[in-house]
Structure 1
Amino acid sequence: SYRAAVQQDVIQSKYSPSQSYTRTLVQAYKKWILKGILPKLIQDSLLFLNPIMIEVVLDFVSDSKESGTTDYALLMYYVVGLFVLRSIQALALHQYFHNVYTLGLVASLGTSALLYSKIGTLSEYTLQAASIGKVVNLLFSDASRYKSVSTNIHLVWSLPFQITVSMVMLTSSFGPMALVGLVIMALAVPLQSALTRMTYAYRTRYLILSCSVIV
Structure 2
Amino acid sequence: MPFSPYRHQYIFLLVLCAFSLLTTPTQAVQSPPIVLNLPLPTLHQALTSLLPLPIEQQKRNSNFRGSFVVDSITRLAVQQNVIAVQGQLSGRNMAVNAQVGGQTIQIKLGEMVLPVSCDIALRYDRERKTLFLRPTFYKQARQQDPAAASLAPLLDGLSREYALPLDKLDPLAGKLGVTPIFVQLEPVDIRLRGDSLELQFRPHTGKIGSTKTGKKIR
The two structures have a TM-score, normalised by structure 1, of 0.24
User: Comparing both chains, which one has the higher relative contact order based on Cα–Cα distances under 8 Å and sequence gaps of 6 or more?
Assistant: 1
Higher helix share: 1
Structure with greater Cα Rg: 1
Higher strand share: 2
